[in-house]
Each structure stands twice: as C-alpha cells, then as structure tokens.
Structure 1
Amino acid sequence: MNDPQQEQGTALERLIFNNRPIVIGLCLVVTVFLAWQAVRVLPETSFEKMIPQHHPIIANMFKYRSDLEGLGGNNISIVVEAKEGDIFNAEYLETLRQMHDEVFFLPGVDRSALTSLWSPAIRWVKVTEDGLSGGEIIPQTYDGSAASITELRNNLLSSQEGLRLVAKNFKSSMINAPLLESYPDPDNPGKLLKLDYQRLSHELEEKIRDKYQAQNPNVVIHITGFAKKVGDLIDGLIQVVGFFAICLLITFALLYLFTWCIRSTIAVVTTTLVAVIWQIGLVRLVGFGIDPYSMLVPFLVFAIGISHGVQKINGIALQSGSADTSLLAARRTFRQLFLPGMIAILADAVGFITLMLIDIGVIHELAIGASLGVAVIVFTNLILLPVAISYIGISRKAIQRSKNDAIRPHPFWRLLSNFAGPKVAPISIFIALALAVSGFWYQKTHLQIGDLDSGAPELRPDSRYNLDVDFITKNYSVTNDLMVVMVVTPEDGCTAYSMMEPLDRLMWKLTNTEGVQSAESLVTASKLVVMALNEGSLKWQALSRNQSVLDNSVSNIGQKLFNNTCSMAPLLIFLDDHKAATLARVTKLIRDFAAENDRPGLQFMLGAGDAAIEAATNEVIARSEILILLLVYLCVGAMCLITFRSIAATACIVLPLILTSILGNALMAFLGIGVKVATMPVIALGVGIGVDYGIYVYSRLSTFLREGLPLQEAYYQTLKSTGRAVLFTGLCLALGVETWVYSAIKFQADMGLMLTFMFLLNMWGALWLLPALARYLIDPNKIVKQSAGRFSLAH
C-alpha cells in the first residue's frame, strides 16, 4: 500500500508528481525572468491615482482645471523664515529671489502659476488722487536699498494677494509651486515625462533646503505639499525593506523551532520568497510600481505563503511517519491539503478583487497586486513546495518528533479541546456576542472617515514634514487646507449682482462656521476697492447694488478671481485643518446652500483644493466601506459553501472573521485612526489572511467527524494535527509584523499594530470560536451519514 503507483490520486497530482523535473525547471525559468522584472520595479506614485476621479467634485475640478491656476490641490509650499529680524532686508530678499528662480526650474513645476513676492503676477492696488494705481510688489527698480525696501513694504501692505504669501508677523514668506503630472522633456520638448515624486522630494531637500540654509544661516526653510509628503513616504520604503528582513529572520528562526528540520525550513522560506519575487515581477509586467500604500502587499503575500507552507510541512511530517519515501508523504499531503489550500487562496483573491469597487487608482493597484500575489502562491506553496520536499525530504529528527506527537497525550491541546465541549462552548459564544455588540457600538460611535489629525497622519507628529505644516498653520492667515467652490454663470455674468449677492451670503455663512479660517472671492475684492475709492470708510465695505459700480470695482484687480470669459468665479475657503469632521461640516453647508440657491444661469459647485479632494475621497471611502466588507464576506462565504456544501460549516468559518473585523474597527477608533485610503484595505486584506486558519481547521475537523469521533475528541485530534500549525503561523506572523510599530513612518506603525491584532485574533477565532460554533451548528451524525453515503456510492 506504500507504493506511490498504487495510490493513483487525482489527475492533477499525477501530472505534477510524474513530471517533477519539468515542474521545478519551469518554476526556475519563471523565477529568473520575474526576478529580472522585480529588480526593475521603481517606487512610483501619482497625485491622480490618489483621488476618486469619477467623483462629482473631482470631475468639476478636471472640467475647470485650466481656469484654476494653482488651485488644483497638487502644490508645493516652500516657506522661508528669517531667524532674526523680518523679511524686509536685502539679504533675505536676495535669498528668496534665488530660491524662486531655483524652484522655477525644478522638474514638474507649473511655471506659469508659480507665485512668491518675486512673481510679476502678484500685484498691489491702491487709490491715489488720480484713481486706482498698481504694479508689481517688488518693482523693477528694486536695488536692495533702504528706499527700495520701504517701497516694497508699502506695496505689500496694499496687496491682499501678496499678504497671503507673508506670515502674520512678517518673519517669513512663501513660494507656492503648483505641479504638473506630466511635463515636457527639456531634451525632447515633444515628449512628456511623468513627474517623479521621489526625485522632486530629493531635489527640494538638496537644491532648496540644504543649499540655501547653508548659504544663508539666518533662514530656516519649511516645505509642505503632497509631493513632499509622498516623497518622504517613498524614502520610508527602504525602511520597510529592513523590517521585511527582520520579519524574514524571525520567521526563519521560529519555523526551525517548529519543524526541527533545516531542510524543510529553507524550503518553506525559499518558496515563499519566490512567491514574493513573482508578485513584484508581475506588478512590473502589468505596468505598476511600488507606492507607499501598496508597500504592505509583498508582506501580505509572504504571510499567506508562510501560512500555507507551514500547513504543507506539518502535513508532510505527519504523513512521513507512515510513508516509506518522502515522495509518497508529499503526494499524500498534496492530495489532502491542495483542495482546502486552493479554496482558501481563491477566497483570498476574490476578497482582494472586491477592493476594485473603490474608485481610487492606488487601491485598484493594491487590489490587483494582492490578487496576483495570492494567485502565485498556488504554484509556489501548493505545488512547488511539496515537489521540492519530495526530493529533499524531512529530517529523521523531525519525523520522529511528529510520530511522538501523534501518539503521546497533549495536555495543552486537551485543554483547548474544551472549547468544543458542552460546558465551555456556550460561554465562548456569549463572550463573542458581548465583544461583537460592544465593538460594534464603539466603532459606530467613535470610528470616523478620513484624517483625525492635522498635518500628514501618515507621518509621525514630530516628523520634519508635520513640524513644517504646524509652522505654516500657526504663522499664516491662510493654510494649505484649501477648498474651492466654483460659481458658474453664463459668459460675462460673473460680476452680475444676481451672482455676487448669493456668493456674499455664502461667504458670510462660511466665515461663521467652525473650522473655517477665512474665505475670499470676487466679492472680497469688490468690497475692498469700493471702500478704498470712498476714502477707506468702513461704511462702504459692502456689496454695491449698482452694476456699474460692481463692474468698475473688479476691472483692475490683479487677483485671478474669475476666468477669462467671466463665466466662473472661484470662492477660496481656507480651513483650520482637514479633519474629517471639519470637511463634513463645510461640505454639507455648501451643498445645502447650493440646493437652495442654484438656478438656471447660476451654479455653486465644489471642485478643487486639497480639502475638497480630501472630502471627495472621504465620501468614496464612506460609501464603499460597508459594501466592500459585505462583498468580501459574501465571496469568502460562497467559496466555503462551495467547498464544504454546508451553511453551518460556512458560518463556523466566517463568523470568527466577522468578529475580528468588528473588533479591528473598534481598535482603529480607540487608537484614533480614521478610515481612509491608507487604512481601509487592511481590514479587507485581514479577512483574506484569516480565512486560511478557519478552512484548514474545519477541513481537518470534518475529516475526524467522518471517522465517527465525537465533536470534542475530533477537535482534539484536529488540534494535534493542524492546530499546532495554525497557532504557530499566527504567532510567527504577529511577531514579524509587530516590529513595524517602531517605524518612523506612523502609517506603517499603525498598519503593523493593526495587522498584529488581526493575525492574532483571526488565529484565536479559528481555535476558540469555531469549535464552539460547531457544537451548536454541526451535526456529527449527519456528516458520518454523508460520508457513508459517498462510500457506498463509490463502491
């Protein structure tokens, strides 16, 4: 009976094990090719991938992009602070001029929209005896003399737009550089280059911050913006590689302690690394790169691969006790575990694919990358690993240990088997229900969509970037948290009183709303000019009902507060922060106002600015969150139902995962982590990893039940065979990812904490709650009868 030829197995088994050299050769060729692709993968991200491009707010922004110079949301703000004195000195102004010119030539900068005190487009306007007069803030005659600086100061005080570029204490000023996603190649103007955020971030450090702080010790430079934040995150990818290496070493050491066999340990780790190489190589082939938000996918592939690899090695060790050869042990294990492993992987892949429903490019890439990674595990860990073990075998020490484990009593597993007992099972279910209800209530009352902190929550509060954000927020009357409302009229209608009057009312409502710092529009400019033309009397700072007065008041303003055809006037809303509550409050007010005041020929449309983009993203996440989790569970449940053909078995596997999701969301709320682009996929991905535990445990449990064992004894035997591997996998992966908590990147630290929690709770749910549910949902007699029926039919 130990002759492999007498154990025919399935057609797939015969195809694989009768052609082992070909299988290994093909895997080797594919590995070499995809490794070559993997080493060519570059860190890559895009502003447009981070936003929901089909959301109405974003659609409005794209529609009027040419009329929104510098307001699109993808900007770099560079603040030059004077350590001593103020900005009104020749040395400071010369440094600012040189920096302005340096930024002008940085790759990807929209040069036509670049603004600073040295920009000719930033002008002053004031009333003189001859009427309105204006010009550049820094005049052409500027020569650094005291008289020129005095003239500059007077011009600045007469420029509303210029004052937005200067700190309230006049100790710093700002250079604002809008960015282009694609820009002409300097060496080949007919070719467009894609903006490299990492390169731009490095050039900002080297050519701007380091260079000019060294050149002028009296200045401190602060840099913020999407490109700088993403550049810092991409730099953190190197640190992620370091943590991956630590995780690899921890996994290797623990795996050896689990198997007591260096050969099988190397085989599991190697085949799992092959899966990671294949995943990264395939990502390169489909045209993607590695961005800060998909950097955890290779680790997830590694985690899932280790999970399946441990089950295979554990199964081969158990089979080796009764098999004469390593080939026979590998074939029996393949026959026993390929189907549950395949179902678990399909459930993972289908769950990941559901993330495609979120209309955000970076999540689409994450979903595709994770699905590709899970798919390759079928070849590397379900096929290549047992084939490799069939050649190298398992050490005698490991086989003997496995034999001893099979026959000796296990007090620890006997204790855990009480989870399936009639006394403990109801207590377990009661505790699970209490945790589910309390966790659901806590997440419902505390979990928020979006950012909960000012600055960049992906980075530590004391990171240089967040310190720079904090400096700008404290010292400037306007912030980077800008929301733009586009007031759309017929051509030449943007100055009509019928448009400006409701705009004035909306501005009043906004400026009296919590979280709004200030608001500016064509109305602001008109009021200031009318007041100035009337000897500066505050009584005249009002919106005139006389159309001629309105037209004259905005005819000479230097600010670009309407487009060339006067059919769209932007309302600029500067917020205190971009916290979820602030964005929700302001967007609701604007939409309510638009619903009451929109009419033919006048529309109020949300459409640009960092804060508006963040609000759109939050809304997409809020709409998708519940739908994604429901679809993930429906897909996972469907795969389990197809496999085990039992609603009860499906419930035993899926319900512990649902409890983990509820408690995971509650943990996010407790830690002050909002649901956003960076964090939402983790819960869905955690379900994908967790289903493996349940499928393997239930698969073995049903096998022992079909042999006629009582439930508690069947679960004890399950723990002796599979429980050890499940417990090891959960602890091993949790220890590996727990090291992320010490990362300098807060996003990675948060994800490390969340994944550690989910690895442990999914593992514990499979060992604790699944047998308790089986006590009430599974009928052992029915399983025995079904097994007997299949046996009779086969004969």
Structure 2
Amino acid sequence: MISHDTFTAATQPPEMAAFDHHSGSRLERILFNHRVIVVSLCVLITVMLGWQAAHLRLNANFEKTIPTGHPYIAQYLEHRSELTGLGNAVRIAIATRGESIYDKNYLATLQALSDELFVMPGVDRAQMKSLWTPSTRWSGVTEEGLDGGPVIPKDYDGSAASVAQVRANVLRSREIGQTVAFDHKSTLVFVPLLTTVDGRPLDYGAFSDQLERVRDKYRSANVDIHITGFAKVVGDLLDGLRQILAFFAAAIAITTAVLYAYTRCWRSTLLVVACSLVAVVWQLGLLPLLGYELDPYSVLVPFLVFAIGMSHGAQKMNGIMQDIGRGMHKLVAARYTFRRLFLAGLTALLCDAVGFAVLTIIRIEVIQDLAMIASLGVAVLVFTNLILLPILLSYVGVSPVAATRSAHAEGREGSEGSVLWRFLDRFTQRRWAILTLAASLALALVGYTVSQQLRVGDLDPGAPELRADSRYNRDNAFITGHYGASSDVFAVMVKTPDGGCANYDTLMRIDALEERLRELPGVEATNSLALMNRQVMVGLAEGNPKWYDLSPSQAMVNTITSNAPRGLYNDTCNLLTVYTYLTDHKADTLTRVVDMVEAFATANNNDQAAFLLAAGNAGIEAATNIVVAHANREMLLWVYGAVIVLCMVTFRSWRAVVCAVLPLMLTSVLCEALMVWLGIGVKVATLPVIALGVGIGVDYALYVMSIMLTQLRLGRSLSAAYLQALIFTGKVVMLTGITLAVGVATWAFSPIKFQADMGILLAFMFLWNMLGALILLPALANFLLKPTPQAEVVPANSQPTGDSRPVADKSSQPFLMEARQNA
C-alpha cells in the first residue's frame, strides 16, 4: 500500500529513520498513512454540516414534555377534544389601576385585547374565554323562572347604564374568582392553544413574542398585564437561553486560558479547542438533517459535548507533548499517543454515549430527544478528538519551548515527585487508604440518608425553571393571589354511558369525591355538575342555604343539566369533568390528590361511572412525576450496568472495575443529597443530570486506571504505577476536572433557574468524579490490585519511556492490548 505520507530515505528526518510506518494496528495505519485524505474529508464535512447548522431551529413542543404513554395522559388525549382548555393554555390578567373594571375605557381595552388574541395563530378560538366571549354567562331566578345571558349583553354601548348592567351580570354570574378577580380590579382572558398551526408545530418562541407585543401595546398608566402558561414559560426560557452563547463563550475562554497556562503552546491549545468546536458544529449540523430541533432542555447539550471533547483532546495533546519532549518526531509521537490512548478514549466515549442513550427508556419525548442529540455528539467526538486531533497534531506538533518544559517537568516529577504527587501517592499506602475508605463510607451513609428526602416534581410555586423574582413568577403570584380558581387545575374525567352524565347516582358519587377533595391540604376549590346542581337549588329557593343539596328528582336534575355550561359535560352527555383548583403544583400536593382520587376510583367505579385520571396542567404534571419517579432508579441501574460492562471489556479485571465504578457511585449519592440541600426536585429538566454525570465522570477513572493497570502488569509497584498514571494522564484529569467545573459553574448566574441548577450539579460532579479518580481509586487499588510478578521490577522513579509505550518496530496493537500481552 502506497501512502501519501511515505517518506523516502533522503527526505526523512533522522529521528524518523527507525520508525516503521507499517507498524501499529490496521486502523492506525489507515489513518496516519493517509493523513491528507482524512483531514480533507473532515474539512469538507465541517463545511457542509456548518451550513446545515445555520438551519437549526430552537423551539419547544408541549406534547414532547409529557409522558404520552402513561395511562393518565392517554386518557386525557383520548378525550382532549371534549375537554375545555385542560391542556396547553395561556392565562392573561388585565388589571386596572383605577377603582374597578366597571369603566368604559377599561372594558374597551379588554375588548380590543380579547379580539386581537382571538385572531392570533395557534389560538383555539372555540374554547377561548373572556368577559367579551358569549360563553361567559350569568344565570338567575326571576318571577318567570331561570333566566340568563352573556355577561356583556349584545346591546352594550359603553354608557353608564350599560356598564352598570355589566356589573349586575358579573355579580349574578359564577365568574368571580375565575374570570373576574375577587377585588373586581382585573379580569382573566383564558386562551387555549392548538398543537399545530397550518400543519406545523406551534412555534412557542414566536407566539411568546406576539404575547409580548400585545402586552406592550395595551399596557399603559391605567392598565397592567400579567401572562402565565406553558407557552409563556417556554418563551421566557428561549429568551433567556439565547444568553447561553455568552456562557458558552466564557467557558471557551476559561478552558483555553487554563489549557494554555498548562502547555504554554498556542498552536496546540487552539487546535484542541478547535477540534472540540468542530465536534459541536458537526453535532448541530446533523440535527436538522435528522429532523431534530433544539429545545430549552437540550440546548445545553452542545456545551457538554464541547466539555467532553476538551477532556479527551487535552489527554491526546499532553501525550504528544510528552513524547516530543523526549525527542520523538511529532508524527511518531502522535502515533504512539494514538496507540496508548485510543482504546481508553473510545471506551470512555462509549460510556458517555451509553449514559446519554439510557435516557431513552424514559417515555418522555423531550428527554429521548436530548438523549439522541447527546449520543450523536459523543459519536462525533470519536472522529474529531480521537482521530482528527492526533492527525492534526502530527502536522503542527507543539512548540519547542512547550516540549522542553514538559520534558523537564516530567523528569522532575518522575525522579523526586512534586509536592502534590507525593501527597496523592499517600493514598496508595494502606494507612491512608483505610482512612480514605472510612471517610468515603461515612460520606456515602450521610449522603444516602439525606438523599432519601429527594422529592420528585416541582418544589416551588410558579415556574421553577425560572428565577423566583422573574417576571413570569411575579405574574403567576398576581393571578394566584387575586383569583380563587388557580392556574393549577387537576381534572378528573368521569366516563358514563351515552346520555348518562345527569344520572342522580353518578352525581352523588361526584359530590362525594368533591367533598373529600376539598378536605385535602392544597385544594382551594372544586367545580362540577354536582356542585352546580347544589347552587341552582339554593337559587331556586330564594337563596335559602337549607336547599344546598342535590335534588333527588331526576327530572329536576335533567332540567338543571340542560342549562349547564358545556365545560362541565360534553355534547353526548357521556363525559363529566370534575375540576380541582390547587394552591400550587408542588410534588406533595399532587401526590395527595392522586392517591385520594385513585383510592376513590377503586371503590366507586361501576358500569354507570368510571373515574379517570387525569387532565389539567396539574393532572399532566402528576403523571409526569410518576414516570420520572419510576425512571429515576431504573435509569441509574442501566447506566451503571452499561458502564460496568464496558469497563470489564476494557480492563478484563473485576477488581479494576470496582476501583473505577465505586467513586462514581459515591458521587451520584452525594449529588442527590446536594439536590435535597439546594431544594431541587427530580423532574424533566434535572433527571438527565445524574446520568450525564456518571457517563462523563467515568472518563477520569478510565484514563487513570488504564495507565495504572499497564504499569502493574509490567511488574511495577502500586505506588510506581500510580505515579506514572499521574504524570501521563492524572495531570490532565485534574486540569480538565477543575477547568470544566469552573466553566459550568458560570451557569449559576443564568437568569434561567434550571440552567443554574444544572450548572451547579455538573460542576459538583466534575469535581467529585475528579477527586474520586485521584484519591478514592488508588485507595481502593491498595486492597484490590497487585503488581504482576516479573523477573525484574522497574523502579518507581524510572522515566515513562521504553516499557511505558510500545516499541516502534514491534507495535501492532493499541497500547493496552500490547501491555496486556507483555504482562
């Protein structure tokens, strides 16, 4: 095979003369003997995918954030067309700064705003409700019987008499606390949303921008506007997440500066950063080709891919720099480093990919998309950081100053050891190892005890994804404080035979359910056809509270039902809705409601009525919490199972696997305890973090353990093996662990709460996984790993030449495989 890089004897540098270009594995020969072709292909792919990345969209989808396969959600989706606004909706409160809403100017503003919302793309116009919609009605008892009509009559003309009529109609309606605030100084516009517009998913970013334009248009010195709902949360998240570019730039700047401070070589530093950014470009370019979009939950994944790339790239650069410092040609150094670290790097990336891919077991589409996007990014890193980077470094190498500095540092550390290396080496000694294991066990017990208090779901009112003082949460607090019917609605569907919704026995069961619901902490009020029957009976009895009961007369019940709003039952009279208005959507509140309704349904379901859970935003969130709680432990079991298998394949030693995995488990336990301490619940936004931490954290253990095992199998003592691991890969593990932790820690300043939470958790896991690989791993190795007996044991202060890398003309396998054969 004739390669593009075959050197003639006349043109080869002296240090290349003894190198056999046909040595190494088949993969190495294909790649390094055809470097020009490999680099050209990568450049072409980067240009093409960079153009595709420009077409990537940032959006969200309501149905992607809910577990559509859960029975609760399946039942809601089955009856969604018959339920009034119990899914995705926006609530807009228009508040006057005057005395009350009974003012012609206020009502004119409300009318204009309501009309503008009505024609906005994405609005379910048939279900929209405000004071100006015909579905907002009043009812009362007159000398002629029951009477009623629209709250704002058709002949309203803005006169004082018309405004007075509106006031009277509001007082006779059941809208106070729902459409009209208790203090009569604001009204709500309820805007249910469609899933698609013109056959395409609703663009929440654009819709939120339209809402902001409406807010700016109608807000004045006399009117203030408050907006809540999923669409507005997503819009605010998308606005805030656009600032992620600033955090991304800060992370790049921090990692570049620290890496340069370590290498003192601009060209190799910039090359590592560039290859990591190329991986991000490839990932983003592949997404539109595969039909994916970025959403508020997956938009942080490109940074994680960059972080992983920096970690692996720094290891490759460090190995090449050390070999060049020993006098090797840059091409030989690149090939030797490729042999030594390709298998460890590939295994680490496979663990990362598995950590991401396991998230697909969670039947929530937004998490499955995140898993696929992240796995795709990790797959790309195999090409950009394990292959492209060593090949590019084989061309540019490192500066002579950096190589000389590396050689001097390596000689100094190998002969006498730095203060830090001498300190870390103590953990290979039995006394320090015992103390380390005892401290780790104590931390594990404390962490496990605290982690038992970890809650599933939201732990704060409003939108926990946003800061407590964000405009959205202030708007939510306003609506919650001024309306009895909160925005957190848990709806129970009652399925009956056709025409059976007004059955007296069914209404009695619904009435009993409501009574039990109202006794629960966290429940503000309920509403149903049974409650309306009670209220109408009191109205027919001139307000006498003695008649606050269900009429035993089926004929009377039928009469009342015929005049009830369709939101309480459907057109075929085979589906009733029991509305439960909650004070919040915290996990404990939802759990109490679900447990009670489930128990009630089990005891009361029959042929005439089946109580089905659940609709409403709180019902959907309750189902999501159930899925997340079930998936949390299952996900960790799959992640650790896959990591253990991959480590076993790589190390071929169960003892080495134990040393690598136990530090990860300690970090997972402590991370859950940290979530409890910070008041972070396990939910869609935070569930992936622990799995990501395991997948990324195993990289550190793999790089340290791979060198330690090789040295132990060559007969070195544990102390000598660990010193070689520290010199060759441990320095970069420490460097990248601290640097990446600082990079993600900057997210703590993000206006997006869940991004700040994720940054804190990832920074914690980066640091603890690094400490686990450098402290707990050697302590465990003291008890589990022993040197392989050799005829001659290499002294601890020997330089990592010769046995620590493959012999040039005999190497035909990657470094770990050859070392295993030598041992």
For Structure 1 versus Structure 2, the TM-score category normalised by the shorter chain is: over 0.9
Amino acid of the structure 1 residue aligned with 2:116? E
The residue number in structure 1 matching 2:424 is 416
Deviation by residue 1:164-222 (Cα, 9 ceiling, x = unmatched): 101111110000000001123xxxxxxx232110001011001x1100014xx200000
Contact 2:668/2:690 (CA < 8 Å) preserved in 1? Answer: yes
2:709 is equivalent to residue 702 of structure 1: yes
- 1:378 partner amino acid: V
Can you list the C-alpha shifts for 1:114-146, whole angstroms capped at 9, x where unaligned? 100000111111111111111110001111111
Following TM superposition, by how much is the alpha carbon of 1:321 offset from its aligned partner in structure 2, in angstroms?
A: 2.8
Match of 1:257, as an amino acid? A
2:254 to 226, 238, 250: 250
Mapped partners of 2:568, 2:151: distance in 1:
18
Residue type matched to 2:141 in 1? V
Give me the whole-angstrom Cα distance separating, in 2, the residues matched to 1:328 and 1:463.
Answer: 56
For the pair 1:28 / 2:43, whether they are aligned, the reply is: yes
- In 2: Cα distance, 1:537 partner to 1:154 partner: 21
Q: Is 1:139 the counterpart of 2:157 in the alignment?
A: no
Structure 1 counterpart of 2:71, which letter? P
Query: Following TM superposition, by how much is the alpha carbon of 1:599 offset from its aligned partner in structure 2, in angstroms?
Result: 1.3
Give the whole-Å Cα distance in 1 for the aligned partners of 2:106 and 2:491. 32
Distance (whole Å) between structure 1 residues aligned to residue 534 and residue 792 of structure 2? 87
Structure 2 residue matching 1:223: 3-state secondary structure: strand
Pick the aligned partner of 2:69 from 43, 48, 54.
54
Deviation (angstroms), 1:414: 1.3
Q: Does 1:231 align with 2:223?
A: no
Q: Secondary structure at the match of 1:112?
A: helix
1:8 alignment counterpart = 23
> Is the partner of 1:168 in helix, strand or coil?
coil
Is the Cα–Cα contact under 8 Å of residues 117 and 162 in structure 1 kept in the other structure? no
Deviation at 1:720, TM superposition (A): 1.7
1:189 aligned partner = none
The amino acid that maps onto 1:18 is: N
Measured after TM superposition, the shift of residue 794 of structure 1 is 7.9
Residues 721-773 of structure 1 show CA distances to partners (whole Å, capped at 9, x for unaligned) of 21111000001101111111111111111111111111111111100100001
2:427 partner letter: F
Q: How many angstroms apart in 1 are the aligned matches of 2:696 and 2:495?
A: 49
* Residue 656 (str. 1) matches residue 660 (str. 2): no
- Within the candidate set 210, 213, 221, 2:219 is matched to 213
Quote the offset at 1:322 in angstroms. 3.3
Out of 59, 67, 73, which is 2:82 matched to?
67
Alpha-carbon separation, structure 2, partners of 1:785 and 1:778: 19
Q: Shift of the alpha carbon at 1:323?
A: 4.5
Once the two structures are TM-superposed, the CA of residue 96 in structure 1 deviates from its matched residue by 0.3
TM-superposed deviation, 1:411: 2.1
Matched with 2:542 is 535
Residue 90, structure 1, aligned to residue 97, structure 2: no
Alpha-carbon distance in structure 2 between the residues aligned to 1:704 and 1:155 = 87
Letter in 1 for 2:756: A
SS at match of 1:164: coil
Superposition deviation, residue 789 in structure 1: 13
Per-residue CA deviations over 1:501-538 (Å, capped at 9, x if unaligned) read: 11100000001110000000001111111111122211
TM-score by length of 1: 0.96
Q: Which amino acid aligns with 2:119?
A: F
1:583 paired residue number: 590
SS for the counterpart of 2:235 is helix
SS in 1 for 2:462: coil
Instruction: Give distance in 2, aligned partners of 1:133 and 1:581.
Output: 43
Please give the alpha-carbon distance, in whole angstroms, between the structure 2 residues aligned to 1:621 and 1:486.
Answer: 23
Percent same amino acid among aligned pairs?
A: 50
Match of 1:605 among 587, 609, 612: 612
Higher mean displacement: 289-298 or 574-583 = 289-298
Q: Give the SS at the match of 1:79.
A: strand
Match of 2:302 in 1: 298
- Given candidates 28, 50, 56, the residue that maps to 1:41 is 56
Match of 1:492 in 2: 499
Check conservation: 1:125, 1:557, Cα contact below 8 A.
no
Distance in 2 (CA, whole Å) between partners of 1:13 and 1:784 is: 32
- Superposition deviation, residue 662 in structure 1: 0.4
Gaps of 5+ in 2: 1-14, 794-802, 804-815
Give the drift of 1:560.
Answer: 2.5
In the TM superposition, residue 711 of structure 1 has moved relative to its aligned partner by 0.6
C-alpha separation in 1, matches of 2:484 and 2:490: 15
Instruction: Report SS of the residue matched to 1:52.
Output: coil
| Per-residue deviation, residues 214-236 of structure 1 (Å, max 9, x unmatched) | 4xx20000000000000110111
For 1:82, the aligned partner's letter is: T
Alignment match, 1:270: 274
Question: Quick one: distance in 2 between partners of 1:16 and 1:792?
Answer: 24
5+ residue gaps, structure 1, are 185-191
Q: Which letter does structure 2 place at the counterpart of 1:380?
A: T
In structure 2, C-alpha distance between the alignment counterparts of 1:669 and 1:603, rounded to whole Å: 38
- Give the aligned length: 783
Pairwise CA distance, 1:782: 6.6
The secondary structure found in structure 2 opposite 1:282 is helix
Deviations 1:270-312 (A, max 9, x none): 0000001111111221111111111110011011000100100
SS at 1:138's partner residue? coil
The 5 A counterparts of 1:107-186 are 107-161=121-175, 164-184=178-198
Q: Distance in 1 between matches of 2:706 and 2:367?
A: 33
- Residue 103 in 1 paired to residue 117 in 2? yes
1:549 equivalenced with 2:562 (yes/no): no
Residue aligning to 2:573? 566
Tell me how far apart the structure 1 counterparts of residues 751 and 660 of structure 2 sit (CA, whole Å): 37
Does structure 2 retain, via aligned residues, the 8 Å contact 1:268–1:306? yes
Query: 1:326 matched to which residue of 2?
Result: 330
State the distance in 1 between where 2:166 and 2:117 align. Answer: 22
Q: Which residue of 2 aligns with 1:478?
A: 485
Distance in 2 between residues matched to 1:693 and 1:228, nearest whole Å = 41
- The DSSP-based 3-state class of the residue aligned with 1:487 is strand
Are 2:395 and 1:387 equivalent residues in the alignment? no
The alignment's TM-score, normalised by the length of structure 2, stands at 0.93
Q: Which amino acid aligns with 1:640?
A: C
Q: Secondary structure at the match of 2:484?
A: coil
Q: Secondary structure at the match of 2:538?
A: helix
Contact 2:529 2:564 in 1 (8 A): no
Please give the alpha-carbon distance, in whole angstroms, between the structure 2 residues aligned to 1:791 and 1:541.
86
Q: Does 1:260 align with 2:268?
A: no
- Aligned ranges 1:282-361 → 2 under 5 Å: 282-361=286-365
Structure 1 counterpart SS, 2:92? strand
Shift of 1:161: 4.0
Distance 1:481 1:155 in 2: 27
3-state secondary structure, aligned to 1:781: coil
Q: Secondary structure at the match of 2:93?
A: strand
Residue 527 of structure 2 corresponds to 520
**Larger CA deviation: 281-290 vs 480-489:** 281-290
Aligned partners of 1:122 and 1:558 also within 8 Å: no
CA distance 1:784–1:693, shift in 2 (3 Å): farther
Q: Report the AA paired with residue 524 of structure 2.
A: Q
Q: Give the residue type in structure 1 aligned to 2:681.
A: G
Structure 2 equivalent of residue 443 of structure 1: 451
> What secondary structure does 1:456 align onto?
coil
Q: 1:201 to 1:791 in 2, by over 3 A?
A: closer
Q: 1:375 to 1:790 in 2, by over 3 A?
A: closer
- Give yes or no for contact 1:487–1:570 (8 Å, CA) kept in 2: yes
Q: Give the alignment partner of residue 378 of structure 2, picking from 374, 380, 384.
A: 374
Q: 1 CA distance for matches of 2:525 and 2:790?
A: 69
Q: Is the 8 A contact 2:533 2:560 kept in 1?
A: yes
Secondary structure at the aligned position of 1:618 is classed as helix
Whether 2:686 is the aligned partner of 1:671: answer no
Deviation of 1:559 after TM superposition, in Å, equals 4.9
- Which of 69, 88, 92 is the aligned partner of 1:78? 92
Q: CA offsets, 1:562-596, max 9 Å, x none? A: 10111010000000000000000011000000001
What SS does the aligned partner of 1:483 have?
Answer: strand
